[in-house]
Structure 1
């Protein structure tokens, strides 16, 4: 299973403006393909039922539900806190929350990590100090696994900055949970991510520049997104035909004869 990338939604039913399921439906309509189920204060039976509902929402677009904590609630993807457990469980996808290089150095078999807070966050006020983009870039270079940027990410410009610093995506909570239109907000953030990871060619046929993180290009969601269809991001562009016709064979040099 590939690590999460793009815009990853973290849930919080207590701040969801219009009900958690409606927020997730809107976020998915806007291009989100990864959701992390938190809600740790629910009884396991209620949390499991919620996991079933969210997986059904994601199933139509090939999305994935990741469960916060070591119990995958019937799935095979979990996101662990920095404090443990160690060693991590052997699920198909395991992520961990980290905040500094020391915590990143403890990673063993995890597939990805979040680092936070990049900016001050309304969800956890006073939590920090913020890493800022320079700190995020430093952790990306030190990390043995791909990183998601978390904390205070609310605008397309911030998404772009995180990707340019080397993150494979951003994890967001408040900006979508509190959004009056989760679909539009998600579409704006997802579009910024797609723009940031789409190679820009200087001329037809030129070799594209590598994406951040040692040449690893994050997975860009394309299914179910009318925004992607309108913008054409992620689609190969036809090559422009040359005026001089097909290339002519080269003459052998004197050394080759």
Structure 2
């Protein structure tokens, strides 16, 4: 299947002094259509309230909302999909609850990608492609070859970890179907401008040289 957008913007309410919903609104205004509501460290009721604010912005802009990890919250927010840490049972449960919703799985190896495909996921994020402070617990950077190998499995691969304007072209050339960014958008002084630059860089990577 095709992704709703090449750019998946991953939320981080700690990224900027402005409220998260305002940052999401700016991302959407810059052309970002796909928001992954992450912010998993909040108590359940606080996360739901924050999720409702984010969902309202995404809905108003006609965007696509993916919720990280919580199937019940995804259903309550009317999200378009969910992003899971992995596991065939989790994918099956999400499919039963969300129906035709977009189901993604986090992958950190070829084995993870193969397991996600077997479980019926719609796409995977593969990380960390490059060194990044936001993915300290997943070992060394996988590198571009990991994208090429993972893409052969047949699922769309979303590159995650250390992705910026300077690394978009090699990721796309390696076979990535899209890319995910958190800090480069959430911590930007002008998120809309950051998103426009990233999307332009992705488009330029497909242009004949």
- TM-score, with structure 2 as normaliser: 0.85
Larger CA Rg, structure 1 vs 2: 1
1:117 pairs with 2:98:
no
Partner of 2:48: 48
1:145 pairs with 2:149:
no
Q: Which runs of 5+ in 1 are unaligned?
A: 203-257
Q: Which runs of 5+ in 2 are unaligned?
A: none
The list of structure 1 runs, each at least 4 consecutive aligned residues, that deviate by more than 4 angstroms after superposition, is: none
Whether contact under 8 Å (1:78, 1:94) holds in the other structure is yes
RMSD of the alignment, in Å? 2.2
Q: How many pairs align?
A: 198
1:195 pairs with 2:204:
yes
More helix by share: 2
Q: Residue by residue, what CA displacement relative to the aligned partner does 1:232-256 show, whole Å, maximum 9, x if unpaired?
A: xxxxxxxxxxxxxxxxxxxxxxxxx
Question: Which residue of 86, 101, 108 corresponds with 2:110?
Answer: 101
What displacement does 1:29 show?
1.7
What displacement does 1:21 show?
1.7
Q: Residue by residue, what CA displacement relative to the aligned partner does 1:94-151 show, whole Å, maximum 9, x if unpaired?
A: 100001111112122111110000000121336421111122212212x231110000
What displacement does 1:16 show?
2.9
Q: Residue by residue, what CA displacement relative to the aligned partner does 1:55-101 show, whole Å, maximum 9, x if unpaired?
A: 22122332111000142133241000035744532121110000111
- TM-score, with structure 1 as normaliser: 0.70
Counterpart secondary structure, 1:113: strand
Alpha-carbon separation, structure 2, partners of 1:84 and 1:173: 26
What displacement does 1:34 show?
0.5
